[in-house]
């Protein structure tokens, strides 16, 4: 049986040299099989109106009326229309492939680490993101001058390889106080709230519900019911975390300005201001709060019901059972 890992039909932005800067896929698809997979498996590259009309008929023939409607709508586009079919889950080979994978993540079709992203960062061009869309950096000065001559200003919101997620998709049931702080390719589960200083990178995200007031770095996954306090940080594989996948379990609390460099199990708490890395020496306390042993934090990775704190007298980092984990205020995560 024919199977396709991912497929997207979308509108692209190109620079004057004909190179694709970004692609918007209104309805990305994942894990296709049967007749629909057979229709799309060889569809790739730029499509003209005739090809789109043929594709619309093929979609209609297998009962994919929503895709047929999109294909018909795109026939009138003045912008380039491109398709990307990923028959297998392989590293992206083009900007169009890379954007399809980022869309799949933000549309909740795959979880972080659920699709191959090797080499994606190097594929993406650095782009000026403006109120007129993506602009090639080599063409930015000309576009700025043109705007001034017309009595307007070209607003450049960022210069980056990644756009903000909300210009491509807004997942159901989320709140995002500052949309520029969530990149396309982030996965936000229903019930997630991202406050003004919260940040979520690509290939990272939250199961939801949860409150994000700190940084979720690339590759980091945060379980349901967990809160990241203001200014806290999680180490990702792009920022010194090596090959270890950092994750936060369910119903955890990372305090304000704290940090995490090991995977956490469920119902764990890190005291405000305390940064735990794999090599941090931690004194483990027993039920009577007496020292049992001192270990590196990596030895506690993935274990549940732990409270990490710093002894206010000795300065030593301590760990004790945290079975009275803080319960979240459910009203904070009602994002309907």
Cβ atoms of residues 278 and 294 within 8 Å = no
Residue 316 neighbours by CB under 8 Å, 6+ apart:
281, 283, 310
In this structure, what are the phi and psi dihedrals at residue 134, rounded to the nearest 5 degrees?
-75, 135
Taking the C-alpha atoms of residue 41 and residue 34, their distance in angstroms, rounded to an integer, is 11
Q: Give the pair of three-digit tokens for residue 222.
A: 């945060």
* HSE value, Cβ hemisphere, 13 Å, CA-based, for 212: 38
Taking the C-alpha atoms of residue 11 and residue 83, their distance in angstroms, rounded to an integer, is 9
C-alpha triplet 103, 108, 113: angle, nearest 5°:
80
213 is catalytic: yes
Neighbours of 295 (CB within 10 A): 14
| 193: β partners | 175, 211
C-alpha to C-alpha distances, 45 to 3, 10, 131, 248, nearest whole angstrom:
19, 10, 27, 39
Q: How would you list the strands of the sheet with 156-160, edge to edge?
A: 133-136, 127-130, 156-160
Taking the C-alpha atoms of residue 197 and residue 45, their distance in angstroms, rounded to an integer, is 39
C-alpha to C-alpha distances, 81 to 10, 100, 152, 267, nearest whole angstrom:
6, 13, 29, 47
Active-site choice (213, 251, 271, 327): 213
Burial class (CB in 10 A: 0-12, 13-18, 19+), 293: exposed
- Quick check: helix, strand or coil at residue 98? helix
Rg of the chain on CA atoms, in Å: 23
Which residues are identified as catalytic? 213
């Amino acid at each position: 049986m024919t199977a396709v890992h991912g497929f997207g039909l979308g509108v692209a932005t190109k620079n004057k040299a004909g190179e694709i800067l970004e692609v918007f896929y209104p309805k990305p698809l994942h894990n296709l099989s049967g007749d629909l997979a057979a229709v799309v498996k060889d569809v790739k590259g730029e499509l003209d109106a005739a090809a789109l009309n043929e594709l619309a008929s093929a979609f209609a023939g297998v009962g994919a009326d929503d895709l047929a409607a999109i294909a018909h709508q795109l026939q009138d586009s003045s912008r380039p229309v491109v398709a990307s079919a990923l028959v297998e889950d392989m590293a992206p080979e083009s900007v169009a492939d890379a954007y399809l994978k980022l869309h799949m993540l933000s549309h909740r079709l795959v979880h972080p680490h659920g699709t191959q992203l090797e080499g994606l960062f190097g594929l993406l061009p650095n782009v000026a993101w403006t109120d007129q869309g993506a602009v090639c950096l080599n063409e930015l000065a000309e576009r700025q001058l043109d705007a001034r001559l017309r009595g307007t200003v070209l607003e450049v919101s960022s210069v980056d390889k990644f756009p903000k997620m909300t210009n491509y998709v807004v997942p159901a049931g989320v709140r995002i106080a500052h949309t520029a702080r969530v990149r396309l390719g982030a996965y936000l589960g229903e019930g997630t709230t991202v406050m003004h200083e919260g940040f979520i990178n690509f290939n990272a995200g939250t199961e939801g519900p949860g409150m994000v007031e700190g940084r979720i770095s690339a590759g980091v996954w945060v379980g349901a019911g967990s809160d990241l306090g203001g200014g806290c940080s999680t180490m990702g594989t792009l920022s010194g975390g090596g090959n270890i996948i950092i994750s936060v379990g369910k119903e955890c609390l990372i305090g304000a300005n704290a940090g995490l460099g090991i995977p956490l199990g469920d119902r764990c708490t890190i005291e405000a201001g305390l940064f735990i890395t794999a090599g941090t020496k931690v004194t483990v306390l027993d039920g009577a709060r007496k020292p049992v042993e001192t270990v590196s934090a990596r030895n506690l990775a993935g274990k549940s019901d732990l409270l990490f704190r710093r002894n206010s007298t000795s300065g030593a980092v301590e760990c004790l059972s945290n079975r009275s984990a803080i319960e979240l205020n459910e009203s904070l995560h009602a994002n309907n």
